[in-house]
Amino acid sequence: MALKTWKNMVKFPHLASLALLALLAVAIHLTRNKGNAAVRLENQVLLKEESGKNDSAPACNLFSGRWVYDNVSYPLYKERQCSFMEYDFACEISGRQDLKYQNWRWQPHLCDLPRFNGTALLEKIRGKKVVFVGDSLNRNQWRSMLCLIESYLPPSSKKSVKLTGNLYSFHSTEYNATIGFYWAPMLVESNCDDAVTHRVRPRIVRIKSIETHGRHWIDADILVFDSFTWWMDQTMTILWGSFESPDAIYKKVEMKLRRYEIALSTWSDWLEMHINRTKTKLFFTSLSPYPLGNTVWSTDDSCHNKTEPILDERYWASAANRSMMRIVESTIEKLSERGVKVEYLNITQLSGYREDAHPSIFRTFWGTLTNEEVKNNVDRYADCMHWCLPGVPDVWNQILYAYIMKS
């Protein structure tokens, strides 16, 4: 067939000319698009391997996938063997009997999630400082990171965390590397900024002030931000001026989206003015979804006794506020236009599938509450916001690890 076609082209030379012109056009098109190749799939742009060498994004969309049960490879560490474990996230120690939530692996559709290698990560951050900045969900992720790397640390390592002001930090002397968490639930300044005592009402926010916090992370090599949950109050007091000033103006406002937008604008302006763009790698973790309700965590108790993930990939968690997500995405896009690159870790949907992986009542509680009181009042005390460890935040860190290792 091919020989017959070639004979026809020789017989009719104009056909050969047309074929050569077509091949030349295809070659030019491929050459022009080689360095910018992308595939659009379900409204997601997936970068191919041809992406520029300096692009720190992994080669496929790590956020689109499904949960697969895997009790051979997971969990990546044992809860009781993690020296850095925080009892707020220690569900097994706190009495949870069903531990299947520890054995689910996130499987992206078009590739495999890189296996976490703590030695490789510690070498990558040797002599550097990594800081997670935000609320207790970011602290959840930070604790997960410490548990993930612990087994890769030399046996002689001091496995302790130091608290200085708002900054919790672990320092590995062997690698001269620091992995810290800075408590700033609103990112900007507020009356909820005490790292230990912050359950304050009403919430008062200095929506245009961030410097008090920012000076503590300005020297970091990698910054991982989050802020969402603490903005969900229907009303909030905005402070113009300082807490100490008698002339300060206090204004009670609703406008949830607008106040969030102003705060992120303050954050982005600070980054543009102060961050060393050639040194510091920036990340922002999207909202971690939870069901809204009337427990002490402002969630409902629907996660209690859940033992399986949601496997319907169309599912979207009720509190995953798309409008607030768009504000973050728009802020990051505008920063990029101003020359400041922030990687957006969109963990919202993958986390929303995991209603089985919240602590519910299997965590520590403050004050004089007894276990019996908690069990008899699940509708008040179930924590459907944070995550058991090992669990979902480990996957967030595996994705973060993929970005760091590629950068």
- Check whether 142 has a pLDDT greater than 70: yes
User: Does this model's pTM top 0.75?
Assistant: yes
Give the three-class secondary structure for 362. Answer: coil
Name the DSSP letter for residue 360.
B
Give the three-class secondary structure for 312. Answer: coil
Catalytic residue among 88, 193, 226, 383: 383
Residues 328-353 pLDDT 10s: 999 999 999 999 999 999 999 999 99
Backbone angles phi, psi at 322, to 5 degrees: -65, -35
User: Average pLDDT, stretch 188-197?
Assistant: 94
Ranges 31-35, 289-293, 316-320: which has the least confidence: 31-35
- Check whether 306 has a pLDDT greater than 90: yes
Residue 318 annotated as catalytic: no
Residues 147-164 pLDDT 10s: 999 999 998 899 999 999
Residue 29 annotated as catalytic: no
Query: Considering the chain, what percentage of its residues have pLDDT values greater than 70?
Result: 86
d(CA 208, CA 239): 9
The amino acid at 45: V
DSSP string of 56-115, one letter each residue: -S-SS-TTSEEEEE-TTT--SS-GGG-TT--TTT-TTTTT----GGGGEEEEESSS-PPP
Residue with tokens 């009303």: 235
Residue 136 annotated as catalytic: yes
Residues 229-268 pLDDT 10s: 999 988 999 998 888 888 889 999 988 899 999 999 999 9
How is the beta sheet containing 162-164 ordered, strand by strand?
162-164, 167-172, 177-183, 129-134, 222-225, 281-285, 342-345
Q: Which two tokens stand for residue 161?
A: 């965390």
Catalytic residue among 94, 135, 386, 394: 386
- Check whether 52 has a pLDDT greater than 50: no
Q: In a 10 Å sphere around its CB, with 0-12 CB exposed, 13-18 middle and 19+ buried, how is residue 3 labelled?
A: exposed
What's the pLDDT score for residue 241? 84
Catalytic residue among 94, 136, 209, 286: 136
Give the distance, in angstroms, between the CA of residue 110 and the centroid of all CA atoms in the same chain.
Answer: 21
- Check whether 59 has a pLDDT greater than 90: no
Residues 106-115 pLDDT 10s: 999 999 999 9
Q: Which two tokens stand for residue 11?
A: 């017989």
